[in-house]
Chains A and B, each alone.
Chain A
Amino acid sequence: MTLDDADCEKCEELLQGYLDRDLTAEEVAVAERHLGACDYCRRRYRFEAELRRYIRVSASERMPAGLMAKLAELRSTAEGV
């Protein structure tokens, strides 16, 4: 760690809330002030943001062909109601 370890620890704690946009204005300011001065934390924030996108892409599986037709058959109008 490049700066005070306690600051990096605090920054690590704020990571998820920061990316979720769930921090107070003061917390955002604390995180951004630290990130502006600390490459160690800045790299890790960037990594986390990319990781989230990568997880979403990797774990996302399209609906199998044919399922839509099966679902459409469940419609009331398909039963002739």
Chain B
Amino acid sequence: MSESGAAEPEEEAGRRIASEARERVRFEEEALGFADQVYRVARRMVGTREEAEELVQDTYARAFRSWQSFTPGTNMRAWLLRILTNLNTDRGRKIQRTPDSQPLEEGDYYLANRLAAAEGEQALDQDRVVERLSQGGVVDALAALPHDFRDVVVLVDLGEFSYADAAQILDIPIGTVMSRLHRGRRILKQNLAEETLS
């Protein structure tokens, strides 16, 4: 009340700008804290390390520009991945359509059955039996998934996102997430059986 009428708005404006700047710095720091996790997901959504690096950089450039559209208190990692998957789609991946007909799908026991057939049922009891599959084979099998399936498998099984988060990130219904995830995992196991056990 006692302050002069002219100085107050200016001071207020100054405080507002300073507080916004602090908020922005906080936002940027929090976002950068997720960089490694964002990269790990990105790396499996695209073919090469260079593409993944570029995609992550584009993601952060956009995130830093549109930081005000992030709602504080919500899942920032999911928000960043949403930007990333949008950018990835914009890069023309739409051309790479999922084929309408998928190979005949085997059941969920397929890979274990193939291992058991090759090495005996008891082999499944051994610790580290999964390590008979090469790590490179796992990466290749994942890369060979049609991208609609791969995106969901990568988000849920690598990124450890919930079905709901994956649905939001990819902008698809949760039921679609579940069916793509289930089918994607089955196809992945088929790929693994063909690539690493044959």
Contact = CB atoms under 8 A, between A and B. Distances in A.
Given A16-B108, A16-B182, A64-B53, A75 B64 contact: yes
A60 B158 contact: yes
A67 B130 contact: no
22 contacts: A12-B108, A12-B109, A20-B163, A44-B108, A44-B112, A47-B124, A51-B111, A53-B130, A54-B133, A55-B138, A58-B138, A58-B139, A59-B138, A61-B49, A64-B53, A67-B39, A67-B56, A70-B57, A71-B57, A74-B57, A75-B28, A77-B25
Contacts of B56: 63, 67, 71
Interface residues of A, number: 37
Given A50-B130, A55-B142, A60-B40, A74 B157 contact: no
Contacts, number: 111
A9 B107 CA distance: 9
B185 A16 contact: yes
B138 A54 contact: yes
B100 interface: no
A10 to B, nearest CB: 11
Interface string A59-81: 11111100110111011110000
